[in-house]
Amino acid sequence: MIRKIYAAGLTLLLLTGVYNLKAQTKNPLADTIPLTIVPAKPATSRYTFGQPAPFRSTIAGWAVPTAMIGYGFLALHTPALRELNETTRDNWKIKDERHKIKIDDYIQYTPFAAVYLLNAVGIHGKHNLRDRTMILGISALITAGTIQGLKRITDEERPDGTNRMSFPSGHTATAFAAAEYLRQEYRDVSPWYGIGGYAVATATGALRIYNNRHWLSDVVAGAGIGILSTKAAYWMYPWVQRKLFKPNSHAATTLLMPYYNAEFRSAGLSLVIYPR
């Protein structure tokens, strides 16, 4: 059942992409106005090679997730916000432990997977395989490192009392990092990709509360951390690119990237091989 729901989510994102691709190819004036066909350019970074990206964005882009993180920290020591956590938990949590919905363990990765599946079917985002994989790796390292460090420092007990690693929510952080990743890659193609990714991320956070694994403030802070982690990865990548690769160089055919999953305390290395 879980695999079917997970597959349905990916299928929905893919169908949305196919629909948008078809819509872009329609031209009601095709019979009356001659068309000039321009070959498509390969997907590359939207910044000049090796040049640092400008550290600027809209207020909503950086201030909102920062405020979300601030709210989470305030809730750790503010009686009114802690009471809101309790009230939300009592109203949302599952009544019978046997009816837990565990798809949040899977759907948190759906937007990540969607980026690669969409590219595989010909709907290309901003970056090529190497660049988007490295951006993903940077985002994952920032997210996991931040989450794991804060869990140990804050020592917040989970609502179900199983351990003291509640704040912030790792599942929610991963889901929102993935949603922002999908939005960044496809925002110039269609805003619906980002909307779909954020809908999946929101569902992940809601399920963490429903399954009695996190407080509301854990989820809000986790969402903010995930969004900022991906934004930071996109901002940092041109500098990383300049340090690791030479312009127009095809010498590097392999890439070894570390990964760490804070929620499951697992780590390892991912090997990506690129054709010359």
pLDDT, greater one: 267 or 125: 125
Which pLDDT band holds residue 14 (cuts at 50, 70, 90)? very low
- Condensed to tens digits (0 to 9), the pLDDT of residues 161-186 reads 999 999 999 999 999 999 999 999 99
Averaged pLDDT for residues 241-251: 69
Q: What is the pTM of this model?
A: 0.74
Residue range 113-150, pLDDT digits in tens: 999 999 999 999 999 999 999 999 999 999 999 999 99
Q: Once rounded to an integer, what is the mean pLDDT over residues 15-23?
A: 44
**Minimum mean pLDDT range among 152-166, 169-183, 244-258:** 244-258
- Residue spans of alpha helices (H) in 93-190: 104-107, 110-120, 129-154, 170-186
Cβ-contact 184, 230 below 8 angstroms:
yes
User: 7-21, 109-123, 158-172, 184-198: which range is least confident on average?
Assistant: 7-21
| Predicted local confidence at residue 203, as pLDDT | 97
**What is the chain's percent helix, strand, coil content, to nearest 5?**
60, 5, 35
Q: pLDDT at position 1, please?
A: 45
pLDDT digits (tens, 9 = 90+) for 37-93: 334 344 444 444 444 445 555 566 899 999 999 999 999 999 999 999 999 999 998
**Which of the listed ranges 10-14, 95-99, 219-223 does the model predict with the highest average pLDDT?**
219-223
Cβ 243 vs Cβ 237: under 8 Å:
no
Distance, CA of 145 to CA of 260 (rounded, Å): 8
196-232 pLDDT, tens digit each: 999 999 999 999 999 999 999 999 999 999 999 999 9
- CA-angle at 98, arms to 88 and 105, nearest 5°: 70
The reported pLDDT for the residue numbered 17 is 47
Domain residue limits, the chain: 2-22+58-247
